[in-house]
Chain A
Amino acid sequence: MSASITHDSIATVETHSGSHHNDHGHGHGQGKPGIMHYLWNTDHKMIALQFLWSATFFLIFGGAMALAMRWQLAFPGHPIPVIGHLLPHSVVNDEGAIIPSGYNVLVTMHGTILVFFVAMPLLIGVFGNFLIPLKIGAGDMAFPALNELSYWLFALSGIIMLSSFWVPGGAPGTGWTAYAPLSSVAAYNQTPMGQSLWCAALFINGLSSITGAVNYITTVITMRAPGMTMFRMPLPVWAIFLTAILLILAIPVLSAAAALIIFDLNFGTTFYRPSGYGQPLLWQHLFWFFGHPEVYILILPAFGLTSEILSVFSRKPVFGYKAMVWAMISIGFLGFIVWGHHMYVSGMNLTLSAAFSVSTMVIAVPSAIKTFNWMGTIWRGSIHYTVPMAFAVSFVSMFVIGGLSGIFMASTPVDLFVHHTYFIVAHFHYVLFGGSMFAIFGAVYFWFPKMSGRMFNNTLGWIHFWMTFVFFNLTFFPMHNLGLGGMMRRIADPTVYDCLKQLQPLNVVCTIGAMGLGLATIPFVVNIVWSMLNGPKAPANPWNSTTLEWTVSHPIPHGNFAVTPTVYHGPYEYSVPGLARDFLPQNEKAPAHITLEAH
């Protein structure tokens, strides 16, 4: 039983030599798995790992771009040490210092890659794929081949996105929001090819998301094990199910809008060009109609993953399970009627602005329900201090900080002041890094034993946690002050303004934090790669958890469950009074004398 799915996937990283034994029981059969085993595999667990490795690559790539930006902001015009000369000339000058247009490229590609090629595949591609079938007691996704197609569309879109660096003009520098007419007129952006490839990559990435989402929704609706009612589903499944619905409704609008940019750039259409009676503001409406649901696409799965981790390590049921589900449903719905709050300064009608302001603040209600329920979950629990728990608790705290600054900006008068400053940058990094990425790190550690069959190294895990937590706050908290001090986003050199020179020490602090954050990735990557190969064998249920994925032993065969499990109760029956053990798996009946409180 030495070889495992994880072993297999590690082998792909090591340019698979086929030297390991394939003595695991599942019938992939002809002794050694060939290269096609890794390239086209319909097993949802393998697809999850394909997404994991690809997204980790993009995480390092996109993170390195952020470090280059931070270097430039702290030490404007100074050559980047060591690697400065190796960077392409669309980004740096002869001395290896970042040029302004190159800085714009870094801003754009960092944002695009982190949103579409890191956060989405990690949250949805990895955990959606890995957890949904295992948690609902299914053998695989409803459409396994479509699932693998989704991965390859994702990979193709990544290749197209990266290739934009090497076309004439280089990668686009129009920001991840690609506002028209900057993005849609070649004379303005100077990168018509790069911008077109950017749009094409997002279009194909959208197809990948849609095929994935079709699979998730269908799987959740039709493939639940007997007894697994909707309100007995673990919260990560609920979260990713709702996320998939948002994907289906939001992504196609971005695809349409991006296609129109391609047409404007290449075929002479005038959708966003005023000279042909086009409307530049139309892009903002279409983009944010997608963009705001996208915000919840990036955070709902994190909500679900964190809720479960908090419950397991507090040895208590999730406080207000149904309220958690309804809060996510209402957040998902409200997410579609608030897009205008990204556009307060666009010259939009002020009455409309007020309406968007109110609908945005309403989102604070379900968000607060979730936050208080997380606190209720931990409250008086028997808390186990583990690495995933540390990340989950930090997720809640960091998300609250990001959420509160969100309320500031929901209010139009405040937003008029802070819009397009570093206050915004601080806000969305608190929700996207402090929120989504912390949840992802916690979830990677939490499900690592199930994905790999091995335990991670605790010491490295704690080093990773503390470095991430400290340096994250060091990087992003001062950005609130920078923003309120007047420093604008997307500025390659703040020292060109006298009024911003006094803020420069804060910029240096942010950069020191960012370097530390970059270094924090090293123990993480070393930990997962080394532990997948050499970590101690993990028991089937190392956290004494209740959900179905912990009932199968590693290696999990293609098909997952030898016998389809039957589910008898809700997902979080921890510390049930009267039971010998402090957890009751979903597929075990409660003894007759025990009454469970809910569902």
Chain B
Amino acid sequence: MNNAAYNDSALFHAPMVAEVSEHDHHAAPPTSPATCKLGMCIFLCSEAMLFGGLIATYLVLRQAAGSWPPNFGDGIELPPMPKLLTGINTVILVSSSFVYHFAEVAVKKGKSGAGWMLLSALMGATFVGIQCIEWTELYHEGLWFNKGGVYGSTFFTLTGFHGAHVCIGVLLILWCFFLQVTKGTFTPKRHVALENVGLYWHFVDVVWVLLYTILYLL
């Protein structure tokens, strides 16, 4: 891998990929870190539209329902959202973003950073765990995908979509951790995967802050 070819400022200029095709037709041109980062950002735009669609769905249904939780006139009282527990959970998830950032800083300084990665993954896993506990409790209080009308449908679907993203994020961070521990893949000069997993992780955290605000606080 020729690090000299990677030039972050090349993002909006035509990069040099010529040397590749001359000697090795089989090899794909090396993809520069800036290019990978751009690709990840574009992908996250589509993720933002996915959550945008879901959040719009929630807002439309909530607006149309009149009161929230909706009153179905059947005398069943729907449980309120556990603001405090999830508030603590939110702090954990947002902190994990900072912890992940420390991993990147460590790698850039030439250190391993694997400890920070593991801690960040554990915090993500804790978030998922607490969400599971919360889902179970709400289930026992009579709220589920198919209970409580749109109140249950939207809550479990939106937090479910987000939870799936957190799970994928935890797996990605663990993958980075194992790469770093077993192979020392990430160097101060090149840590493409670490950087892109970071972008994804920060995105997932920002989405959660939004979801926490509209699902629990509003």
Q: Which residues of A contact B (CB under 8 A)?
A: 25-29, 42, 137-140, 142-146, 210-211, 213-215, 217-218, 221-228, 248-253, 255-257, 259-260, 263, 267-271, 275-279, 282, 285-286, 289, 557-564
- Cα distance A222–B146 when bound, in Å? 47
Name the distance in Å between A551's Cβ and chain B's nearest Cβ: 14
User: Do A279 and B46 touch across chains, with their CB atoms under 8 A apart?
Assistant: no
Nearest to B63 among chain A residues (CB) is A279
User: Do A222 and B38 touch across chains, with their CB atoms under 8 A apart?
Assistant: yes
User: Do A27 and B25 touch across chains, with their CB atoms under 8 A apart?
Assistant: yes
Q: Mark B124-145, 1 if CB is under 8 A from A, else 0.
A: 0000000000000000000001
Smallest CB-CB A-B distances: 6 pairs: A268-B146, A559-B21, A276-B149, A564-B18, A269-B153, A256-B53
Q: A276-B149, A559-B21, A559-B25 are in contact. Are A248 and B42 (CB under 8 A)?
A: yes
Residues of B74-124 whose CB lies within 8 A of A:
none
User: Do B52 and A253 touch across chains, with their CB atoms under 8 A apart?
Assistant: yes
Selected contact of A222 from candidates B10, B46, B50, B52, CB within 8 Å:
B10
- Cα distance A137–B14 when bound, in Å? 10
Selected contact of B17 from candidates A223, A249, A260, A285, CB within 8 Å:
A223
Q: A214-B43, A270-B153 are in contact. Are A221 and B16 (CB under 8 A)?
A: no
Q: A253-B50, A256-B57 are in contact. List 9 more A-B contacts (CB 8 A).
A: A214-B43, A222-B15, A228-B14, A253-B52, A267-B146, A271-B150, A271-B157, A282-B57, A559-B25
Q: A140-B28, A257-B53 are in contact. Are A214 and B39 (CB under 8 A)?
A: yes
User: Do A560 and B21 touch across chains, with their CB atoms under 8 A apart?
Assistant: yes
User: Do B53 and A561 touch across chains, with their CB atoms under 8 A apart?
Assistant: no
- Cα distance A562–B25 when bound, in Å? 9
User: Do A271 and B50 touch across chains, with their CB atoms under 8 A apart?
Assistant: no
User: Do B11 and A210 touch across chains, with their CB atoms under 8 A apart?
Assistant: no
Interface stretch of the complex, out of B29-37, B183-191, B205-213:
B29-37
Residues of A within 8 A of B72 (CB): 276-277
Selected contact of B18 from candidates A42, A227, A276, A563, CB within 8 Å:
A563
| B20 at the binding interface (Cβ < 8 Å) | yes
Residues of B within 8 A of A137 (CB): 14
- Cα distance A25–B28 when bound, in Å? 16
| B65 at the binding interface (Cβ < 8 Å) | yes
A145, A227, A267, A277: residue with the most chain B Cβ atoms closer than 10 Å: A277
Q: A26-B26, A269-B145 are in contact. Are A225 and B150 (CB under 8 A)?
A: no
Nearest to B29 among chain A residues (CB) is A139
What are 23 sample pairs from A and B whose C-beta atoms fall under 8 A apart? A26-B25, A28-B26, A142-B35, A210-B43, A213-B42, A214-B42, A218-B42, A222-B15, A222-B38, A223-B14, A223-B15, A223-B35, A226-B14, A228-B14, A253-B49, A259-B161, A263-B157, A277-B65, A277-B70, A277-B150, A279-B61, A282-B60, A561-B21
Name the distance in Å between B165's Cβ and chain A's nearest Cβ: 13
Name the distance in Å between A196's Cβ and chain B's nearest Cβ: 15
Q: A268-B145, A282-B60, A286-B57 are in contact. Are A210 and B14 (CB under 8 A)?
A: no
Name the distance in Å between A348's Cβ and chain B's nearest Cβ: 13
| B54 at the binding interface (Cβ < 8 Å) | yes
- Cα distance A85–B17 when bound, in Å? 57
- Cα distance A214–B49 when bound, in Å? 14
User: Do B61 and A269 touch across chains, with their CB atoms under 8 A apart?
Assistant: no
| B168 at the binding interface (Cβ < 8 Å) | no
Q: A223-B17, A248-B49, A252-B46 are in contact. Are A276 and B153 (CB under 8 A)?
A: yes
Residues of A within 8 A of B145 (CB): 263, 267-269
Residues of B within 8 A of A28 (CB): 26
Selected contact of B11 from candidates A222, A228, A260, A289, CB within 8 Å:
A222
Name the distance in Å between B177's Cβ and chain A's nearest Cβ: 23
Residues of B within 8 A of A275 (CB): 149
Name the distance in Å between A43's Cβ and chain B's nearest Cβ: 9
